[in-house]
Amino acid sequence: MTARARYIVGVDVGGTFTDLIAFDEAEGRLLSAKVPSLPGEQWRGVLDALTELGIAFDAIRAFVHGTTIATNALLERQGAKTALVTTKGFRDVLEIGKGRRLVGGLFDTTWQRPAPLVPRDRRHEVGERIDADGTVLATATESEIEALAGTLRRQGVEAVAVAFVHSYRNPENELAVAAALRQRLNAVPVTESAVLIPERGEFERSSTVVLNAYLTPVMTKYLGTLSSELSGRGIRAPVNIMGSNGGAMTLEAARQRCVGTFLSGPVGGVGGAVRAAEAADLGDLITFDMGGTSTDVALVHGRAPRMSHDNQVDAYPLQMPQLDIHTIGAGGGSIVWIGPDRTLEIGPQSAGASPGPACYGRGGDRPTISDANLLLGRLPTDRPLAGGLVLDVAAAEAAFRALGTALGTDDPVALADGALAVAVAKMAGAVREVSVHRGFDPRDFALVGFGGAGPMHGFMVAEELGMTRVLIPRFPGHLSALGQMMADLRRDFVKAWGGRLGTLSPGALKREAEALRRQGVGLLLDDGIARERQRHAFTIDMRYAGQSYTLGIPWNFDDPDFGPLRRAFDDLHAATFGFADRANEAEMVNIRLVSIGDVDKPVLDFASPAAGDPNAGGRSVWFGRWLDTAIFDRARMPAGFAFSGPAIVEEAGGTSVVPPGWSVTVDASGALVCGFDDGTR
C-alpha cells in the first residue's frame, strides 16, 4: 500500500445492484456508489462502482466484499463435478437424509427431496471405521486408495468431499485418506468434514462437506479473478470476504470454507443495522433488508443477532454457524403474476438488473413491485434515481394494464395496490418466522428498514404486524456495504465433547476449551491480528437428558464449577420454551468458540450537514386513496427536524414512504426515528 492510503471500502453485490461505500479517513466523510450488477461477472460490478466513486485505487487501505457467488452457484447448479468418499455402508446417506416436518410437527409426506449434488456413481466407499468413542477399528488400504484415485481420475471429478463415520471424534482416518488423494489427484481440491465442521450428525455433516467441495472451484476462480483484477488496477489493500457468521474472513479462509459465505451480503446489513441502532440508542430490533431481488429479515435481541448452527440452503442441510436470517423472493424487481387460482402472486422470479422492471425502460414488459410503487406515486418521475435512471410511468402502467387484461380488469392502480398488499403479507410472514416462531413478539421490537426498497415498504410491514417503532438509518441503500466495512475478522470453532454434568469435571472442560482457544489465537495470528486485538468467547451446547435439540449457553472460562452454567441453561430454556425441567439431568454436547480479531474501524458521523430547506414540494400519493403528500430531501434534514405522514423522504439510494399516522424525528445520529399512533394505542 502507498503512504497516501486513506480509504476503507465495503462493497455488497446484490442480484440487481452493486453497492459500494468508502470512508475517506483524510476528510472524515463517506462516499457511496450504486451500479447495476453483472450476472456471472460480479467482479465487474465491483470495479464499476469503484470507478464511479472516482477515487485513486492505490489509495484504498482496506477492502471488505460481500458476495453471492456461492448462493448463485448452488441455486443455478453451476458447481463443480464432485465426488464423495465415505465409510463402507454409508454411500446413500445423502439420498436417505431425513423427513420434513410441517408446522405442528407432522411429517410432510408429499415433500420431494432435491436430487443429491453428488450422484450415486460418484459416491465411493472405503473400508475404514472409527468407533463412537474414537477408537480406530479399520483403516483404508493403499490398494483401496490407489484404485479410488484411478476411478476419480476416470470420472473427471473437479472436487472431492471426504466424510467418514465418527470422524468428529477422531479425524485420523479421514485426514489420511484426504492427504493421499491430494497427492494423487494433483490440483483437485479435497475437503474433509472433520476439518470443516467436526460435529455429530452424519447426514448434516456429509451434506455440508459436499456443499463446500461442490462450490470450492467456483469460489476459488472468482476470488482469484477478483484479486487479479483489483491488483491489476493498483489496489494493494488486503481483501476480506464477509462471512455468514457476521464477521469477515481472509481470501484464503473463504477459499477453504466457501459454505461460510452463503449469507455474505445480508449479514453486512444486519451488522450495519446494529451500528445504526447503537447510535440511536435502540437495543432490540428486527432488520428488514429489501433489495431488488429478495427481502432478508433477522432478529437482534440486546444488540446481538441470533445465530443458527443448523441451517438449510435450497433444502440441503448446512451445519455451519450463520446469522439467523430468513430470506424470501420479494424485492423491488419481483415480478407480479397470476397464479393457478387467478390470484396475484409475487416473485420469486425477478426482473433483475437487466432488463429490470418495466419502468426502467430497458426492454422489460412484466409488472414488478417497483412498477407498482411508481404507479401509486411513491417513486419520483421528475428526478433520476441512483445511476441516473429516470423511471417511465407509462411503461409501468402498460405492464399492469396487460396484467389486468388477463384478469378482466382495467384498473392498473387497483392492481398495483393489490400487488403491494400481497408483497407486504409475504414480508410480514418472514418477520413472523424470525420472531413469533422463535418465541418473540415483534411488537416489542423496532423495525429497521434499509436496502434500496426497505424504507419504502417497512412502515406497511410494521403496521401489518402491530409494530409501532421504525428506524430508517442514514445511507439505507448502502447499509449492507457499510456493515461490511465495519466488520471484524471472525473464526468459529466447535468440539464435540460432553456428557451429563454429573459425570464431567470443570477441569476437563477447561482443558478442551483451552485447546480450542489456542487454535483461535493461532489462526488469527496467521490472519495478521495481534494477540492484544483478539477476543475469545465460549458457549456450550446443552440439553436435558432425553432431548435431541440443544441451546447455546455462554460460559465463563473462569467459573469454578458448573453451577452458573446450569442455572443459565434452565433460565434460557424457560424463556425459550416456557418451562424448565430443573429436576432433570442436563448434559453438554458441544463446546463452541468464537474468536474475534478487532480491525481498525472509522468513527462515523451520520448526522446530515443540513444545508438548506428539506422541503422538496409535494405530490399526490396513493394510501388507500390519493392524498396530498409532502416530499422531503433527506440530505437537508437537520437533527431534531420533525414531521408526520403522509410524507416521502427522498435520498440517494433509497426512498422512505411514511403513511398517515406515523410521526418522524431526525435523531442526532441522522436516523429517522419513527413512531405510530392511530389514537387507539
Residues 45 and 107 in one domain: no
More reliable by pLDDT, 506 or 601:
506
Supply the pTM of this predicted model. Answer: 0.87
Q: How far is CA 312 from its chain centroid? A: 13
Question: Looking at the structure, do residues 565 and 590 belong to the same domain, yes or no?
Answer: yes
Percent of the chain with pLDDT over 70: 95
User: Would you give the distance in Å from CA 257 to the centre of its chain?
Assistant: 15
Q: Looking at the structure, tell me whether residues 212 and 87 fall in a common domain.
A: yes
Which of 95-104, 144-153, 657-666 is predicted least confidently?
95-104
Q: Is residue 341 part of a domain?
A: no
149 and 201 fall within a common domain = yes
130 domain-assigned: yes
1 has pLDDT over 60: no
The count of other CB atoms within 10 Å of the CB of residue 522 is 12
Please report the pLDDT score of residue 30 as a whole number. 85
Asked whether residue 91 falls in the same domain as residue 190, the answer is yes
The pLDDT assigned to 4 comes to: 65
State the cell numbers at 486. 465495519
Q: Is residue 337 part of a domain?
A: no
What is the pLDDT, as a whole number, of residue 62? 87
What does the buried/exposed string (b/e) look like for 322-354 if buried means 16 or more CB atoms within 10 Å of the residue's CB?
Answer: bbbbbbbbbbbbbbbeeeeeeebbbbebbbbbe
- Please give the Cα distance from 648 to 378 (Å, whole number): 7
Supply the DSSP symbol for 532: G
Per the DSSP assignment, residues forming a β-bridge with 295 are: 290, 328
- Grid coordinates of 536: 475469545
Q: Which of 36-40, 287-291, 517-521, 649-653 has the lowest mean pLDDT?
A: 36-40
Strands 446-450 and 82-87: unpaired
Q: pLDDT-derived band of residue 135, with 50, 70 and 90 as boundaries?
A: very high
Bridging pattern class, strands 469-472 and 446-450: parallel
Residues 533 and 653 in one domain: no
Residue 158: count of CB within 10 angstroms of its CB? 18
In this structure, what CATH number is given to the domain that contains residue 502? 3.30.1490
Residue 603 located in a structural domain: no
Q: State the CATH number of the domain containing residue 172.
A: 3.40.50
Q: Residue 228: which CATH number? A: 3.30.420.40
Give the integer Cα–Cα distance in Å for 189 and 252: 13
Confidence of residue 680 (pLDDT cuts 50, 70, 90): very low
Count of beta carbons in the 10 Å neighbourhood of residue 106: 9
Do 196 and 225 belong together in one domain? no
- The C-alpha atoms of residue 674 and residue 666 are separated, in whole angstroms, by 9
Question: In this structure, is residue 506 part of a structural domain?
Answer: yes
Q: Which residue has the higher pLDDT, 315 or 524?
A: 524
> Do the domain assignments include residue 301?
no
Q: What is the mean pLDDT of residues 370-389?
A: 83
Q: Which of 49-63, 101-115, 333-347, 381-395 has the lowest mean pLDDT?
A: 101-115
Which of 216, 231, 252 is the last residue in one of the domains?
216
- Residue 200 neighbours by CB under 8 Å, 6+ apart: 168, 496, 589
Q: Alpha helix locations (H) across 76-190?
A: 93-96, 142-155, 172-185
Same domain, 83 and 210: yes
Mean pLDDT computed over 403-408: 90
The predicted pLDDT at position 105 comes to 62
Please state the rounded mean pLDDT for residues 560-572: 95
| 3-class DSSP string for 440-490 | CCHHHCEEEEECCCHHHHHHHHHHHHCCCEEEECCCHHHHHHHHHHCCCEE
Listed residues 181, 216, 251: the one ending a domain:
216
Please, which pLDDT band fits residue 460 given cuts at 50, 70 and 90? very high
Q: Are residues 134 and 211 in the same domain?
A: yes
**How sure is the predictor about 192, in pLDDT bands with cuts at 50, 70 and 90?**
very high
On whether both 11 and 90 belong to a single domain, the answer is no
**Least confident span in 137-141, 209-213, 227-231, 507-511:** 227-231
- 35 is a domain residue: yes
Q: What average pLDDT does the segment 86-100 reach?
A: 89
Q: Give the mean pLDDT of 293-318.
A: 89
**Which residue, of 208, 242, 261, is where some domain finishes?**
261
Number of domains in the chain: 4
Torsion of CA 294, 399, 459, 440, to 10 degrees: -40
> What angle, rounded to 10 degrees, do the helices at 412-434 and 454-465 form?
70
CA 165 → CA 91, 116, 198, 309, distances in Å? 11, 19, 11, 20
What pLDDT, on the 0 to 100 scale, is given for residue 89? 94
Q: Do 35 and 88 sit in the same domain of this protein?
A: no
Phi and psi torsions of 347, nearest 5°: 60, -170
Higher pLDDT, 379 or 388: 379
Query: How far is CA 19 from each of CA 226, 237, 484, rounded to the nearest angstrom?
Result: 16, 19, 11
Pull the grid cell for residue 425: 403479507
Note whether 199 and 110 are same-domain residues. Answer: yes
- For residue 617, which phi and psi values (nearest 5 degrees)? 95, -150
In terms of residue numbers, what domain contains 561? 489-597
Q: What is the pLDDT of residue 609?
A: 61
Q: How far apart are CA 506 and CA 116, in angstroms?
A: 42
Given a contact cutoff of 8 angstroms between Cβ atoms, the answer to whether 423 and 369 are in contact is: yes
- Cβ neighbors of 214 (< 8 A, separation 6 or more) are 74, 79, 80, 82, 117, 118, 159, 161
What is the residue-averaged pLDDT of the chain?
Answer: 90
The reply to whether 128 falls in a domain is yes
- The pLDDT, as a whole number, for residue 211 is 96
Q: How far apart are CA 148 and CA 154, in angstroms?
A: 10
Given a cut of 90, is residue 19 above it in pLDDT?
A: no
